[in-house]
Structure 1
Amino acid sequence: MKKVLVLGGGFAGVDAATHLRKRGYDVTLVSDRDYFYIYPTSIWVPTGEASFDDVKVSLEELRDAHGFTLLVDGVGTIEAKANRVTLASGKVIDDYDYLVVALGAHKMKHPGIEHTLSICGDPRESLRIKERIDALVAKGSGKVAFGFGGNPKDTSAVRGGPGFELFFNLHELLKKKGVRDRFELTFFAPMPKPGARMGDQALSMMDTMFARADLNKHFGKKIKRFEEDGVVFEDESKLESDFTMFIPAGDGHGVIKASDLPTSEAGFVTVNDYSEVVIDGEVSNVYAAGDVAALEGPEWRAKQGHVAEVMAKNIAFNIAARDAGKAERKGYQEHLNILCVMDTGSGAGFVFRDDKKAFMMPMPILGHWMKKGWGWYCRNSKLGKVPRLPGL
């Protein structure tokens, strides 16, 4: 039985391990956390609508459900040409036949970033955001600034959706507490039209939603630095804030940048359509999926969980086809689209975009519960308790 080493316990890593096991491979999964974190539903942890345990799944449970070997450890170095991975503990793994890299991304570093918290960062930051929100609610008033940044070297590495979702959920929470009129809520971003990748209709709907909820916008100015009491922009203007939530754009993972893997200008692993890594002109035994990979495609492309899942499933198929001597391969390009249910706390908007169309459909009330249902589905389908949706 051939051995596959999977690095990373997120959407790409867990799905790669799961699908490879279904195809009979001996799989070892390495993760620096002992749980799989459901980032899309973590937006409810800061508002108290979900607990931290609600949005994580034990990797031991996933191991028991699917039969892979689990190592809870960090990754120290990757030497692809030498077929060797050294873990943070010092353990060396060099007996694998295939390597699947799914480590995710690191974040862009902004001066003063320590004065912010991110809903897309370390999972436990969601609990710290909750503490800050609870403190402001107890105080009864305040100025709050939420935002996200960009990576000029890779437009696919921007992740603003969760910021918008948490922003609207905070608005709803303050309404329920009866203190919304005592808070100044501002959303900021360096680009003139944040969310433009969703399409013109979505942008128009977002403008309407901001106006109806009396939410402020501060767009089109580059961020110079963060301070304890606000955000300073390139023209030295300042957005005052008692609490700043900021999602930096993704950047190449430090371990990847230090490895001998081929990378894009932004430090992401370069792959072909089949998620194969080409080294020295030859298709290697290394594959990459999810945020760690450099996605090719249209300007609006985005690194999302469902794309990571497709890449992971394709990798399992492609490895099996390769071992069987078959020429057929499956690629991720045909599956590139933006697909999400953007929760607002009182409803949601269904967002879809591909090369042919782009739209956002409002789903009052029902949309919120649809996303709740998706969270249940995500947890239980990963554990094999309910069937996966077709294509996944």
Structure 2
Amino acid sequence: MKKITIIGSGFAGLTAVRTIRKKDKEVEIMLISPKAELVYMPSLIWVPSGAASKKDIVIPLDNFFKRMNVVHIVSEVTGLENKGRSVVTPIGTYENDALIIASGGRFIKKLPGIECAITPCEGLSAAEAIRDRVKAMDGGDIAIGFSGNPKEPSAMRGGPMFEFLFGLDTQLRAEGRRNKFNLTFFTPAPKPGARLGEKAVDGLLSEMKKRNIATHLGHKMKQFTDSKVVTEGGEFAADLILFMPGMTGNTWFDNTDLARSEGGMLKANKFCEVENTDKVFVVGDSGSFPGPEWMPKQAHMADLQAAAAAQNVLDVLDGKAASHTFKIELMCIVDSNNKGMYVSRTLKGGLILPSCRLMHLAKKVFGWWYLHQYK
């Protein structure tokens, strides 16, 4: 029996499992990840206000793996051997007939003093740390920002930072404490959210102005301290810093012969095949894919890539050529705890719907629906 190995139990890895099982009930699936759980990152934005907690975000996968007849190996991955046919872990080496790499990306943490900042998308503990820090503050300066990987334009995750920014503003107003805090949004980019489109940039900046949020844009960052953010264009006070660095590839990629992009990701073609490999695919944040600079690193894009890769894996195992491609699409709701702005973009154009209560509710409902399939 043919064996497909999947590395990672995030959005992309689990979508690959579901897609394979829809097409083939018999093929053996082995999935390697440190824990049998899915962390639903989009809901982290509601943790600081108490609108979401661990039960809403961390979903156990034991039942899902049993339902899908998946062998789960609880381990990190340390490298590959035998041209990808062998996955090396601290607890053993596992063979495969085809491999899907869905192990996510790694935040670049080279900025001096970055230990003074909280990186929200590192998981639940980071979001809880934000919650606890804000709760303990009587007032002060909060700085929220992001940067990218200059060698990999798509390897950034800025959207959630707008949500933490607007969400904290909404939360502090609801608590009657907003007048005690100064909020500053910062990024080296002169136009924050440019990948969402020009109209989105205007909308985001207009929303910041309306909420009395200061901006510090277009200046390369030099350093963080426990009391300020320092850039080439000046510095400003910060008692709490929330910062999302750009992303690069996993450290275990160094222990492989896989082709890498200049930014450290695995180089893939439009079929999600890693360049110059046989039956090795990559999906989600781990990969560098052909497409426009605005192509996002987000769960929706990872799902689209995983569905295409899973179908291609089954085809190549059946002796056919890979032929399934993925739609390039940015789709998100920029939430602010009580309202949300819908943004979408494709190669043909984009759509923006003004912030409203309905979009906030839609994001909540979508999260419930999405997670239900893994329970």
Normalising by structure 1, we get a TM-score of 0.91
Query: Per-residue deviation at 1:123?
Result: 3.4
Find runs of 4+ consecutive structure 1 residues off by over 6 angstroms. none
Superposed counterparts of 1:363-374, under 5 Å: 363-374=355-366
Deviations 1:156-194 (A, max 9, x none): 011110000011111111011101111101110011001
Alignment match, 1:165: 163
Q: 1:119 is aligned with what amino acid?
A: P
1:111 aligns with 2:120: no
- CA distance in 2 between partners of 1:258 and 1:161 (Å): 32
- CA distance in 2 between partners of 1:215 and 1:356 (Å): 33
Residues 84 and 99 in structure 2, CA contact (< 8 A), matched pair in contact too: no
Residues 21 and 27 in structure 1, CA contact (< 8 A), matched pair in contact too: no
Deviations 1:321-350 (A, max 9, x none): 223334461012xx1121101111221000
- CA distance in 2 between partners of 1:278 and 1:189 (Å): 33
Alignment match, 2:3: 3
Alignment match, 2:57: 55
Superposed counterparts of 1:1-392, under 5 Å: 1-22=1-22, 23=24, 24-79=26-81, 81=83, 83-87=85-89, 89-93=90-94, 95-109=95-109, 110-136=111-137, 139=138, 141-235=139-233, 237-279=234-276, 283-327=277-321, 329-332=323-326, 335-383=327-375
Query: Per-residue deviation at 1:362?
Result: 1.2
- CA distance in 2 between partners of 1:65 and 1:128 (Å): 35
Q: 2:13 is aligned with what amino acid?
A: G
TM-align CA RMSD: 1.5
Query: Per-residue deviation at 1:82?
Result: 6.0
Aligned residue for 1:75, secondary structure, equals: coil
Alignment match, 1:386: none
- CA distance in 1 between partners of 2:174 and 2:209 (Å): 19
Q: 1:188 is aligned with what amino acid?
A: F
Query: Per-residue deviation at 1:130?
Result: 1.3
Alignment match, 1:388: none
Q: 1:26 is aligned with what amino acid?
A: E
Paired residue total: 372
Normalising by structure 2, we get a TM-score of 0.95
Query: Per-residue deviation at 1:297?
Result: 0.8
Aligned residue for 1:329, secondary structure, equals: coil
Gaps of 5+ in 2: none
- CA distance in 2 between partners of 1:104 and 1:202 (Å): 27
Gaps of 5+ in 1: 384-392
Query: Per-residue deviation at 1:90?
Result: 3.1
